[in-house]
Amino acid sequence: MSLENIRLATPSKDRLSRLKRTTGISQWNVLCRWALMLSLADSSTPLVKDVVTDSNVEMSWRTFAGQYGDLYLALLKQRCVTDGLEPTDENVSKTLTIHLARGIGYLGAHKEMTTIEGLVGAVATE
C-alpha cells in the first residue's frame, strides 16, 4: 500500500459497512478519518503490525484526506517519530495502514460509536 492509494482489509471493510448502515454516514473516507484519529489518539503501539489489505475498498489519498491532507500527513509522520521510526514514505504508509485497522476496530467495538452522536461524544471526551 502507498499513500497514493489506500486499500482496506476485508475485516475493516465489513466493520465499516455495518457502521455505514447504523450511523447513516455513507462515505468510506469520513469513517476512515474518524478511525485514524481515534487510533492516533491512543498512545499505545498497535498490536497488529501486518495488515493484509485485500478488500475491494480503495480510495486515493486525496479522497481519504480531503483538504486536510497536509495535516493528516504531518500527524502520521509525527507518529512515526514517536514510535521510533524514520518518517519514510514506506513507514508513513505502514503507520496509516495499521492505525486505520486499529481505529476501525475501535469504531466497531464500542456500542456507543454506532451512531453519529456516539462518535462525536467518544471523541469529545478524549
Q: What CA–CA distance (Å, rounded) separates 83 from 85?
A: 6
Q: Give pLDDT, residue 52.
A: 87
Residue 72 grid coordinates: 493528516
* Res 99 pLDDT > 70: yes
Query: Which has the higher per-residue pLDDT, 115 or 59?
Result: 59
> All domains of the chain, ordered by start, with CATH?
5-124 (1.10.1220.160)
Residue 19 has pLDDT above 70, yes or no: yes
Report pLDDT digits (tens) over 28-71: 999 999 999 999 999 999 987 889 889 999 999 999 999 999 99
Hey, what's the torsion of the CAs at 81, 100, 97, 2, to 10 degrees? Answer: -100
CB neighbours of residue 103 within 10 Å: 24
pLDDT for the residue numbered 17 = 92
